[in-house]
């Protein structure tokens, strides 16, 4: 084993993911008779912000967001869109006969966006919906329509046999109260509209370590066939940058075997299938072979 190499790579394996990212967008909106040039410019700009934030959300969540879910999420995030914008650059602006168009680059606060996606549940359920049982009291047709949209954003589906349950009740003054239960977990919120209570309950739920642990996969990646320590270092840096596939990780060892090097990593992922597919596209073409093992030491 080469200890200097191991120490160097250990440092690299704990480098934090970037907390911001630039997204390039093109937007166009029809002109409005009752809006001035400045007002139209602001509307187009904010539409560009929203598109950039959704692009960044799609980039960092472990799974995929279909168009319907992206559209509903976009509507929700738009309410506080300025919270996720660090800056922007306009490359082109054009007022056409009946529309205004812009090409821009938007600097998105990835850290704040990731935190909000985790609060909403989107981050944890983008690779697969979470089952829960739902009970309601005092809900009308419009409330159920809203609940369908809220369920889609959070990424949960109703299952009467699920271990997780949510009870929602309309109380005095049009306010709502709610309770979420899961095994030994219990949380109650009283007061607020249906959306506030809903997201409050699920934000608590997905902040619990036992829930996050149930959603994550602890993996060991074992590789062989590296020709140089520099190649291992480059791959380590690449692995860190795979935010969609790798939540966290550290290198376990580097062996200076003859005629090649062997290296292994301990990784945490919310979507091991994505990670395996990414590795299949990256490593074999470089002459490196790999195996992934789960916590039960079973090859995937």
Residue 204 vs residue 259, higher pLDDT: 204
User: Is residue 13 scored above 60 in pLDDT?
Assistant: no
pLDDT bin (cut points 50, 70, 90) of residue 59 is very high
Domain locations along the chain: 21-122, 129-213, 216-293
Task: Compute the average pLDDT of residues 271-294.
Answer: 94
Task: Compute the average pLDDT of residues 5-11.
Answer: 47
Phi, psi of 268 (to 5 degrees): -115, 130
User: Is residue 16 scored above 50 in pLDDT?
Assistant: no
Is there a contact between 91 and 103 (Cβ–Cβ < 8 Å)?
A: yes
If one looks up domain 21-122 in CATH, what number appears?
3.10.129.140
Please state, rounded to an integer, the average pLDDT across all residues of the chain.
90
Q: Which CATH architecture has domain 129-213?
A: 3-Layer(aba) Sandwich (3.40)
Confirm or reject CATH 2.40.50.140 for domain 216-293, answering yes or no: no
pLDDT of 15 reads 41
Tell me what percent of the residues of the chain surpass a pLDDT of 90: 74
pTM for the whole thing? 0.84
Q: Which residues neighbour 280 within 8 Å (Cβ) at sequence distance 6 or greater?
A: none
pLDDT bin (cut points 50, 70, 90) of residue 285 is very high
């Amino acid at each position: 084993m080469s200890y200097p190499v191991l120490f160097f790579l250990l440092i690299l394996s704990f480098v934090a993911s970037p907390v911001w990212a630039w997204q390039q967008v093109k937007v166009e909106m029809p002109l409005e008779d009752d809006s001035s040039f400045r007002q139209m410019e602001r509307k187009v700009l904010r539409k560009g912000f929203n598109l950039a934030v959704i692009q960044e959300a799609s980039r960092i969540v472990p799974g995929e967001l279909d168009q319907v879910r992206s559209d509903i999420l976009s509507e929700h995030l738009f309410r506080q869109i300025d919270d996720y914008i660090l800056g922007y650059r306009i490359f082109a602006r054009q007022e056409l006969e009946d529309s205004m168009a812009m090409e821009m680059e938007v600097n998105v606060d990835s850290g704040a966006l990731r935190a909000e996606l985790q609060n909403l549940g989107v981050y944890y359920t983008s690779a697969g919906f979470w089952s829960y049982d739902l009970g309601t009291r005092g809900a009308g047709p419009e409330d159920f329509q809203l609940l369908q949209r809220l369920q889609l954003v959070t990424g949960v589906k109703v299952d009467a046999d699920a271990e997780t349950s949510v009870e929602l009740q309309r109380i005095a003054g049009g306010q709502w109260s709610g309770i979420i239960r899961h095994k030994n977990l219990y949380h109650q919120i009283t007061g607020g509209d249906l959306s506030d209570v809903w997201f409050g309950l699920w934000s608590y739920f997905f902040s619990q370590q036992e829930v996050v642990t149930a959603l994550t996969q602890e993996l060991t990646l074992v590789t062989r066939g590296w020709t140089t320590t520099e190649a291992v270092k480059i791959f380590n840096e690449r692995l860190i940058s795979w935010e969609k596939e790798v939540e966290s990780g550290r290198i376990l060892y580097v062996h200076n075997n003859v005629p090649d090097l062997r290296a292994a990593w301990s990784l945490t992922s919310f979507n091991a299938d994505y990670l395996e597919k990414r590795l299949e596209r990256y490593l074999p073409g470089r002459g490196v072979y790999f195996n992934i093992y789960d916590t039960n030491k079973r090859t995937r």
